[in-house]
Structure 1
Amino acid sequence: MSDVSVVGAGPNGLAAAVIMARAGLTVRVFETGSTVGGGSRTKELLEPGHLHDICSAVHPMALASPFFRSFELQKRIDLVVPEISYASPLDGGRAALAYRDLDRTVAGLGRDGAAYRRLMEPLVKRSEAVTELLMGSLLSVPRDPIALAGFGLAALDQGTPLWNRRFVEDAAPALLSGVAAHPVGRMPSLPSAGGGLMLGTLAHSVGWPLPVGGSQAIAEAMADDLRAHGGTISTGHRITSLDEVADSRAVILDVSPSVLLELGGDRLPPRYARALERFRYGNAACKVDFILSGPVPWTNPEMAHTGTAHLAGTRAELAAAEDDVASGRHPRRPYVLLSQPSGFDPTRAPAGRHILWSYCHVPAGSTVDMTEAVTAQIERFAPGFRDVIVRSQVTTAADLAQYNANYVGGDFGGGAVTLAQMLIRPVLSPKPWRTRVPGVYLSSASTPPGPGVHGMGGLHSARLALKDVFGLPVPSLAP
């Protein structure tokens, strides 16, 4: 018996557990996997001594999320913040580079530098307000209407077919569309523009950190804090029904709506269950991990100094690749999201070796091995890449779905990021974390603010549970 049961030890579940334990409540966490972490696990996939992130690799929210700021994550783990947050290589050895320094970024964008500044500088100057705005339900009343208005205008600028109107060259559009393609979907669109602008704002403010030792360090920091405050974690323990945790006063679920339907069964009110059934999942990813005998031989040497690269070529090429996926096709030249952590963190691979993390977007449920398409896209911008490959391993979309029940069809984002599901996630409510079962709350990426390692689903659900069930405020999270 405990005050609180948390099902799922992903970042959101662990965040909720930490908050409840620090409030003085007894907390137990149940995790199906053998380790905590969910989307922030790290393991030796291919050879001993080579640490690969299983899902997320780079963490723009690690220094910006209101939860992680309160938790003071930067005091608990080592974070490396590359000088270049992300980059989009182009043919001919050119590359668009998003430095943390906005001025330096603008200087590298040629004739479009001034237009890029006009788009991004107002957001960067209000970075904290923009982050707070997007880390809750869009149905709530914003505390900074000016930030909301500025962000909305920028999203309209980049989320409609007029997205090229301010640019005359190809570097700035490639840079913006590369980061906007993180959510899987057709482009241009308002959801992709919103996600890209938020990530771009963080790129020029706090940067995009990489955790030393891998993403698992984030999960372990939360697990350590939970245990230090009396909480327990049971790994390898799958919960199959809410009846199994009925002895707890509050239950917080870091699960998808489809899993909630299975757990809740007849306890879910029919109308609420039908709403969960209507929730839609998006397309997916095919992930390819590499061990390399040396660094990626980029044609543009500045690419070695970025933690993240978006490989697609021009904005038009990227939009065409995403349109293929949305139409159920596997692109010949896919959009490839790539991270090269061992260039910044030598603990990730033995001396003389490197690891490379990459994925491309594919239709939901895909069983297609995209290793060759991903390799060819990297080789396009780094001739000789094939010569430094020691080993590789593919994880198809179907494999991702098997790995984590929350990744329906291989959708690692917990649900399609559409305009409707920005508001209905997973139901239309200013407090969607509160289910229709008393004392039961949902904290996963299928609730606002959506995908990402930020802990905010956990914070929102824990705040409601503390208020509704225990009459307690959110405690201090400082070390």
Structure 2
Amino acid sequence: MADAVVVGSGPNGLAAAVVLARAGLDVELYEGADGIGGGLRSVPLFRDDVLHDVCSAVHPMAAAAPFFRAFDLAARGVELRHPPVGFAHPLDGGRAALAYRSLEETCAGLGADGPRWRSLMAPLVRHSPALVELLLSDHRRPPRDLSVLPALPALALGVLRHGTALAGHRAAGFAGEQAAALLAGVSAHVVGPMPTPVSAATGLLLGHLVHASGWPLPAGGSRVIAEALARDVRAHGGRISTGRRVDDLRELRGTRAVLLDLGPKEFLRIAGPLLPARYARQLRAVRYGPGAAKVDFLLSGPVPWADPRVGLAGTVHLGGSRAEVFRQENLVARGRRGGRPFVLVVDPAVADPGRAAADGVRPLWAYAHVPHGDGADPVAAVTGQIERFAPGFADTVLAARGVPAAELERYNPNYVGGDIAAGAMTPRQTVLRPVPRWDPYRTPLRGVYLCSASTPPGPGVHGMAGWFAAVAALRREFGVVAPPALAP
């Protein structure tokens, strides 16, 4: 039996396996699906020469997170490509707000709200690495890098102004529609009610990154990140088995450390009879958020955006005005259908022309936020929302595949009811994930740790939950105090 077994090959499971294997342990990783990656999978859906990212597509965290900065994707042959515009937010009437890598260029396009956007983002950009380390921490300890301290007042003020009832008041926020919509769109990545302190913090984290390390796409699709992590595991003696589903934790008896890239529901499925009653009740009480319904399009050419500048963006947020985004996200959070969905669109070929075929056919990635467990096919609703800001879009669609939120859980059991955050991002559950414990990765079962997005710091392709869980296991189970280096 191996020294350590990792169950699940999402980014956190792979990160945990990297750390454990580099520490000199004999590591096995089990993945229930036929391929590795979890949220990092790219496959041909309609044509062999066109790859579609079936879960995540854009990776600001892969460029910014401490784990990936140390792992050094570029040195491992992974090229993170930056689109001309990080993200865009079209509005009715052919207008759009654009977030460029350059803070000054972004501010210049926001008119009278340019100085307000600068005052909001500039302090965060100046201290970005330390701020990211703080926000992607285990949420249990004070910041290690004290250079973040000058950014904290700006962060707190931004959360107050844009994460409370003040968000609707011009005196506290933005005077115009474009900047307000631009921030609301990026804040909606929280996939929950708005405005809240968590939605504002999400918007400030992701929003400032576009002006710092950027919002890149990996050349060749998201799968190349998973492949780089897997190569490192194997290079240090680790073994990876796909199609190996664990149905009972007792199958892994004899292993000194078991790290589970699983959410609470899956943990209960494989370990329920072994868990203390109180801990099991706490896991069952975990709240899940709204769902994501996925649509993969095959297009004959670029999206015909009403504002052609939107075609320079790797990511596009479709939700209309700030008020409309808030209204729709709150409707969905209450479990109600109706209205026009908030939609995220990614056009990979904007940053990576190789993603388009020789005849110009290209993939388009889209998510819609829908009520938890919604079973409706999202293709028509998503097509209609894109068509609203890109008249003629439907004429470019050669094929489409819709995956309702209810079916997304079949693709990845951690996405309960289509909740890609693996647990609602409420203020309580953002910090106390998945249950209130000082060490959120260690479970009551000896040698068993959780390392999924259901633990801090939460969702995203950052690898930090895997890092924290692996470091905890090394220290407690093997007496290894100094974590291994991650550089190639």
What percent of counterpart residues are identical?
Answer: 54
- Counterpart of 1:113 in structure 2 is 114
> Could you report, residue by residue, the CA deviation over 1:283-315 in whole angstroms, capped at 9, with x for unpaired residues?
101111101111001111111111000011110
In structure 1, the residue corresponding to 2:60 is in which secondary structure?
Answer: coil
In structure 1, the residue corresponding to 2:117 is in which secondary structure?
Answer: helix
Aligned positions of 1:459-474 closer than 5 A: 459-472=467-480, 473-474=482-483
- Counterpart of 1:154 in structure 2 is 158
Cα distance, 1:159 vs. partner?
0.2
Cα distance, 1:332 vs. partner?
2.8
- Counterpart of 2:365 in structure 1 is 357
Whether the 8 Å CA contact 1:332–1:373 is kept in 2: the answer is no
- Whole-Å Cα distance in 2 between the matches of residues 167 and 410 of structure 1? 33
Cα distance, 1:331 vs. partner?
3.3
- Counterpart of 1:303 in structure 2 is 310
Residue identity in the other structure for 2:312: H
- Counterpart of 1:285 in structure 2 is 292
Cα distance, 1:98 vs. partner?
0.5
- Counterpart of 1:233 in structure 2 is 240
Cα distance, 1:417 vs. partner?
0.5
- Whole-Å Cα distance in 2 between the matches of residues 365 and 131 of structure 1? 32
- Counterpart of 1:46 in structure 2 is 46
- Counterpart of 1:64 in structure 2 is 64
> Could you report, residue by residue, the CA deviation over 1:6-60 in whole angstroms, capped at 9, with x for unpaired residues?
0001100000001100111000000000000001111011222110001100001
Whether the 8 Å CA contact 2:378–2:403 is kept in 1: the answer is no
Residue identity in the other structure for 1:222: L
* 1:270 counterpart = 2:277: yes
- Counterpart of 2:220 in structure 1 is 213
- Whole-Å Cα distance in 2 between the matches of residues 387 and 33 of structure 1? 35
Whether the 8 Å CA contact 1:333–1:373 is kept in 2: the answer is yes
- Counterpart of 2:8 in structure 1 is 8
Q: Please give the TM-score of this superposition, normalised by the length of structure 2.
A: 0.96
- Whole-Å Cα distance in 1 between the matches of residues 405 and 21 of structure 2? 35
- Counterpart of 1:435 in structure 2 is 443
- Whole-Å Cα distance in 1 between the matches of residues 134 and 438 of structure 2? 14
Whether the 8 Å CA contact 2:6–2:259 is kept in 1: the answer is yes
Cα distance, 1:369 vs. partner?
1.2
Cα distance, 1:153 vs. partner?
2.3
Which of residues 240, 264, 267 in structure 2 aligns to 1:257?
264
Whether the 8 Å CA contact 2:289–2:333 is kept in 1: the answer is no
Residue identity in the other structure for 2:350: G
> Could you report, residue by residue, the CA deviation over 1:149-199 in whole angstroms, capped at 9, with x for unpaired residues?
432222122101111433211000000000000111111111111111100
Residue identity in the other structure for 1:264: A
- Whole-Å Cα distance in 1 between the matches of residues 338 and 381 of structure 2? 8
- Whole-Å Cα distance in 2 between the matches of residues 26 and 320 of structure 1? 51
> Could you report, residue by residue, the CA deviation over 1:111-167 in whole angstroms, capped at 9, with x for unpaired residues?
111111111111111111110011113232223344444322221221011114332
Identify the range of structure 1 (375-384 vs 172-181) with the bigger mean alpha-carbon deviation: 375-384
- Counterpart of 1:426 in structure 2 is 434
Cα distance, 1:330 vs. partner?
2.4
* 1:97 counterpart = 2:73: no
Whether the 8 Å CA contact 1:140–1:430 is kept in 2: the answer is no
Structure 1: any 5+ residue segments left out of the alignment? none
Identify the range of structure 1 (149-158 vs 211-220) with the bigger mean alpha-carbon deviation: 149-158
Aligned length: 479
Identify the range of structure 1 (54-63 vs 163-172) with the bigger mean alpha-carbon deviation: 163-172
Which of residues 418, 424, 427 in structure 2 aligns to 1:410?
418
- Whole-Å Cα distance in 1 between the matches of residues 363 and 269 of structure 2? 38
- Whole-Å Cα distance in 1 between the matches of residues 125 and 252 of structure 2? 44
- Counterpart of 1:30 in structure 2 is 30
Cα distance, 1:343 vs. partner?
2.4
Which of residues 367, 384, 409 in structure 2 aligns to 1:401?
409
- Counterpart of 1:127 in structure 2 is 128
- Whole-Å Cα distance in 1 between the matches of residues 202 and 174 of structure 2? 20
* 1:367 counterpart = 2:371: no
Cα distance, 1:271 vs. partner?
2.0
- Counterpart of 1:163 in structure 2 is 167
Cα distance, 1:62 vs. partner?
1.0
- Counterpart of 1:223 in structure 2 is 230
Cα distance, 1:246 vs. partner?
1.4
Cα distance, 1:81 vs. partner?
1.1
Whether the 8 Å CA contact 2:124–2:131 is kept in 1: the answer is yes
In structure 2, the residue corresponding to 1:95 is in which secondary structure?
Answer: strand
Residue identity in the other structure for 1:67: F
Whether the 8 Å CA contact 1:343–1:354 is kept in 2: the answer is no
In structure 2, the residue corresponding to 1:92 is in which secondary structure?
Answer: coil
* 1:183 counterpart = 2:156: no
* 1:382 counterpart = 2:386: no
> Could you report, residue by residue, the CA deviation over 1:221-272 in whole angstroms, capped at 9, with x for unpaired residues?
0001101110001100100111111121101000001111122223222222
Residue identity in the other structure for 1:376: G
- Counterpart of 2:487 in structure 1 is 478
- Whole-Å Cα distance in 2 between the matches of residues 221 and 51 of structure 1? 18
Identify the range of structure 1 (451-460 vs 261-270) with the bigger mean alpha-carbon deviation: 261-270
Structure 2: any 5+ residue segments left out of the alignment? none
- Whole-Å Cα distance in 1 between the matches of residues 95 and 404 of structure 2? 31
- Counterpart of 2:321 in structure 1 is 314
- Whole-Å Cα distance in 1 between the matches of residues 395 and 338 of structure 2? 24
- Whole-Å Cα distance in 1 between the matches of residues 74 and 188 of structure 2? 27
Q: Please give the TM-score of this superposition, normalised by the length of structure 1.
A: 0.98
